[in-house]
Amino acid sequence: MGSSTCSACMGCEVVVEKRASLRVAGIALVLALQFGCALSGSGPAPIPLEQRAAYDAAMGNLPANSRAAADQLEAFITRFPRSQLSDDALEQLSQIAFANGRQELGMRHLGQILRDYRKSDRAAPARLRLAQLEYARGHAETARRLLDSLDLRRLALPQQRAALRLRIALARTPVERMEQLSLLAAKLREVDGSARIDSVGRTRLESRINTVDRELSGLIESAASAELEAMVSSLRRRPPASAIALELSRRALDSGQLDLASRRIDRADALVHSEMDRGQLRLQQERLEMLRASAEANAELPRLRDLADRARPRTQGASGTIGVVLPLSGRFAKFGQESLRGILMATRLFDEGDEPGVLADDFEYPDGGLGSRQDGRIAAEPRLRVLVRDSEGDPVRAAEAVRELAADPSILAVVGPIFSDESLGAAEAAERMRIPLVTLSTREDVATGRSQAFRIRTTPADEVGVLVGHAFEELEATRFAVLYPETRYGRGMRKLYWDAVTARGGKMVAASSYDPEATDFSSAVRGMIGYRFLTNLEKQAIEERTKILRAARRIEPTDAAILRQALYPLIGPEGEPLPPIIDFDVLFIPDAAETIALIAPGLAFHEIKGVKLLGSNDWVDEELLRVARRHVRGSIIATPFYAESDVPIVAEFVQSFRNTFGEIPSAYSAQAFDATNLILVQLASGLTNRSSVRDGLLDTRAYPGATGVLTMRPDGNARRRPFLLSVSGRRFRSLD
């Protein structure tokens, strides 16, 4: 029996057997085939000649006279209801009906096949076709029921793929969709493994395989972890079980759930087979070990004051050459000059009594930028040299400077640059030249994935982390809120804060934002305390309360306070508490001091009381204390450097810096001072090659510096404990 293919609903391939070829087949050939099958004892029983002739006569009307063909096929079914060709006749009747636009009739013919000939070879294709039609009509549940009892083995391979595609479209859950997608991928690869396919067909097949692979990847990426777990169980060892197991492992690593990650990595190890998957597994295993080491390191961050009595790491006697790459000209020159001063303080180039030395550099410092020494001499440790290069704030120039310095084998490490782009360029050059680079950037990706790059500057995540930790441990807060500017910085700080709170098991109960150019913050504040979704009755109740409170201004302040205390807890007309609803213990506002000076009084105006305010480093401004003193009293602030600290290591650095340069050091100077000292500690311990210096830097734990306590994580990013300040009267007071 011959076959041909045609395009059907949804672009699926439908195989229609025993069509026009039967019209031209010779009776003798048919008889020979029938008797051959009968004699061999295989295949169906022979079709009587009378039935064959009647069927062929009906089909002979096609395609010219479909009406006559349909009449004769219906007569055939009536005359020979048990014939092996009756199901074929019904299928042909359905095709004629569809071609003439009579869809309901065509579907009835297909339904009759399922009813009267459910064990025939036409039943499975009829069921698939009906499911496709029901889906196209929007009857998804009916289509799903038809497919549930469909045996794919009774379909030709193209039909199997069509059925799987429909099941994918009808899948109710990601797990169901994954099951069908994986079966479809297997079917496509089954064909791909066949040698009987031409170049055009292979190109088309490869395109289909790539499409399904992309769908699988997208589904794995978007599915929830619980869904991925169900997928792994459903697939057992069938692809893409290994890819799902690796994704689950990655998610556990990302979330810091190291025990869970270890279990998932062990499971993935039993599932992966390809070299690509095996490579990913090795990377995850390495990352797990790094995170475990980092977790141990993170537990070692005491307050700086707690380390005051500990012997400090020695830098005296450091011997060797250090390179420096900073933006000493251009728009970032101010920050480069401040950082260079901190580096020179660390190398003790200005200490009295040291042997005269030379700062080896070809850079001409503008306006006496190094300091106030008038005699032109720069002293140095007897065996310590510092070579300085100007990056000009340019990533390309920064990379060139690192390569130039690295070409000198006596240089064991490089300090700098400061900002993200130039630090990335310098880090890439340091990686190629195999020289340790201690950058002053806040971007973690400067160090991540590079064995030679380190990043030591305090990050916003460090600031937020210490604030949230203090709120939990000292303030015993459990409910948190954030009010932030709609800027990239504001949104970033909100995310860091939210993540830090939820990671500790706290609850975020309010979040509101405001235009960074705003001067009136009432709407943003009211959005946090229940005014956003008021009903009309509640609005009326608040208006009445406001009138009473306004009238209360004429009575004694003590009596007015009692009245306010009585009115605010009253329940509204709909049984709900009326705003302000202060359901948070602490409120984080990451913005500049001048903005906080406008926001803080508004908080008091809206009766937000008994809430501790948390602030970022930008709050550290004496003007804030003068303008908004009582409104920010008791606030907690995190800052990377506090020059007023009385901790000895900070006080001594500040005093020496002031004596040398006649001013208070900035955070840039202090962090460059610490970065240089990290390298000097390695040189002072006798390390004489770049590899050992790099290993020593990586092993830094709980290092006490002018900018707080530092621990180096395995990926080269420092974890910092910034300073905590509180607002007390007209001054900031150190909590460390």
Distance CA 359, CA 487 (A): 43
**What pLDDT shows up at residue 257?**
72
Q: Both tokens of residue 610?
A: 């008994």
User: What are the pLDDT digits (tens) for 294-338?
Assistant: 767 666 578 888 888 776 777 877 889 999 999 999 999 999 999
Beta strand 3-7 with 384-390 is unpaired
CB atoms within 10 A of CB 536: 8
Q: What is the pLDDT of residue 576?
A: 59
Residue pLDDT, tens place only, 630-668? 899 999 999 999 999 999 999 999 999 999 999 999 999
pLDDT digits (tens, 9 = 90+) for 405-433: 999 999 999 999 999 999 999 999 999 99
pLDDT at 28: 32
Would you state the pLDDT for residue 730? 83
- Domains of the chain from N-terminus onward: 3-170 (1.25.40.10), 240-298 (no CATH), 315-457+648-706 (3.40.50.2300), 461-534+579-639 (3.40.50.2300)
Q: Rounded to 5 degrees, what angle do the CA atoms 50, 55, 58 make?
A: 125
Mark the ranges of the chain whose per-residue pLDDT is less than 50. Answer: 1-42, 352-382
Pairing of strands 507-514, 411-415: unpaired
Are 650 and 643 contacting, i.e. CB atoms less than 8 angstroms apart? yes
Q: Determine the pLDDT at residue 362.
A: 38
What pLDDT is attached to residue 21? 37
Nearest to residue 470, comparing CAs of 650, 637, 689? 637
Spatial distance between the Cα atoms of 559 and 565, rounded to a whole number of angstroms: 10
Q: How far apart are CA 153 and CA 504, in angstroms?
A: 53
* Contacts by 538-541, CB closer than 8 A, 24 or more apart: 538/572, 538/573, 538/574, 538/576, 538/578, 540/573, 541/572, 541/573, 541/578
H/E stretch holding 439: strand 437-439
Residue matched to tokens 């509204």: 572
Q: What is the pLDDT of residue 236?
A: 84
Q: What is the pTM of this model?
A: 0.58
Helix (H, G, I), strand (E, B) or coil at 437: strand
Instruction: Determine the Cα angle at 187 with ends 185 and 188, to 5°.
Output: 65
* 617-651 exposure pattern, b = at least 16 Cβ within 10 A, e = fewer: bbbbeeebbebbeebbeebbbbbbbbbebebebbe
* pLDDT score, position 179: 92
